[in-house]
Every structure is written in structure tokens, then in C-alpha cells.
Amino acid sequence: MAARGRPRGFDTDEALDSAVEVFWRQGYAGTSLEDLTTAMGINRPSLYAAFGNKEATFRKALGRYAEVEMAYVGDALAEPTARAVAEHYLRSNVAAVTTPGRPAGCLSIQGGLAAGDEDRRIVDFLEESRAGGERRIAERFHAARDAGDLASEEDPDELAKYVVTVSAGLAVQASSGATRQELAAVVERALRAFPA
């Protein structure tokens, strides 16, 4: 059966990129449907048809953010040593959270900072998303320990938590005005936790 209605008159990826920008700058709680439709250049019926309600749009926006803005994570995980994984991940994170012309900080951190009780599902969703990233890093560090790249007494889960905690701190510091150079120095300090 043929689909009914007119074809979309907008590029869904471009519209979603605009939604990412709004949520990134204003957080979930601070973003209204009017903010979204204005930034995306579409009306409410088009938003609902293409993306769903505000919560569904945010979830899709975070997926797009991870795909585009955090593509470096996959590259980091492919590095040959645990130290190289952490170095690539943290250096790339600094570049991402301090990119000129983009909001400072990280959507997955700032998206739910000001959320209230009514937005608990979003806060939980963001926590689950960050936990998924941490698990991927922990799995990579387990593989590094199994391969002899990390000492047998090293705790890969603890090390992964350390790396993602530093990453979150970098995002918060960037949103508070820390410079790329200042954050790069933090990365150098953090990398001392790994064997050279």
C-alpha cells in the first residue's frame, strides 16, 4: 500500500543536527518545542511526524550527537594499547568540547544537568548512555589486560570509570570556560595512570 501524505520537504539529518545544537546549548529542560521547530525550520506536525515528541526528539538527537560529534570513540577503542585508547579518547574529547563555533562541553553531560523530577526519564536515559560508553571502554581494557598490555592486578572496570570521569570533568570545565590548552594539561596528568 502506498504511503499517504506529502513527502517531507526537509532533510531529517540537517533538522536533527539543529536539534542537537539547541539541546546542547540549552539542555533538555531549557528547550521548548518552539525552540526546536524554529531551529529546525519545521512546524510542530512535521516534528511529531519525523521525530516524535520532545523526549523522542532528544533521544534521536543524542544518537546523532554520538554518531557525529563522538565518532572518535570508535577510533580510540581501535588503538593498539590501553594507554593509546585513553590518550586518543581524552585528547579527542578535549578537541570536541572546545570546538570553536560549537557549544562548549558535552550534550550527554549538559543535556540533563538542570532537569527536574518530571524529566527523570531523560536523566536516566543519559546515565544509561554514559554507562554504555564506559562499558565499551572497560571491555577494551579487559582485552588489554588479557593480552598482557595492562598489569594483571589492574582493574579494567575501575580504570574505565577513571577515564570517563576525567572525560566528564573535561566537559564540565570546558562549559565553564576552560581553554583547550588547560584541558590538554589535565589529559597529560590523567595519562600518568597508564604505563608508558
Query: What is the CATH classification number for the domain harbouring 43?
Result: 1.10.10.60
Q: Are residues 128 and 174 in the same domain?
A: yes
**Domain presence at residue 124:** yes
Categorize the per-residue pLDDT at 24 as very low, low, confident or very high, splitting at 50, 70 and 90. very high
Look over the chain and give the mean of its residue pLDDT values, rounded to a whole number. Answer: 91
**What residues make up the domain containing 60?**
12-65
Last residue of a domain, one of 47, 65, 83: 65
Compute the radius of gyration of the chain from its Cα atoms.
Answer: 19
Q: Are residues 76 and 35 in the same domain?
A: no
**Domain presence at residue 5:** no
Q: Are residues 87 and 119 in the same domain?
A: yes
Q: Are residues 176 and 92 in the same domain?
A: yes
If one counts the domains in the chain, the total is: 2
**Domain presence at residue 55:** yes
Q: Say whether pLDDT at 8 is over 60.
A: no
Torsion of CA 82, 87, 93, 94, to 10 degrees: 160
Task: Give the model's pLDDT for residue 6.
Answer: 42
- Residues 115 and 121: their CA atoms lie apart, in Å, by 10
Q: Is the pTM of this model over 0.75?
A: yes
> pLDDT digit string (tens) for 112-143?
776 777 888 998 999 999 999 999 999 999 99
**Domain presence at residue 130:** yes
Q: Are residues 57 and 78 in the same domain?
A: no
Q: Are residues 139 and 51 in the same domain?
A: no
Q: What is the DSSP letter of 36?
A: H
**Domain presence at residue 73:** yes
Q: Say whether pLDDT at 179 is over 90.
A: yes
Closest by CA to 166, choosing from 104, 93, 100, 111, is 93
Categorize the per-residue pLDDT at 3 as very low, low, confident or very high, splitting at 50, 70 and 90. very low
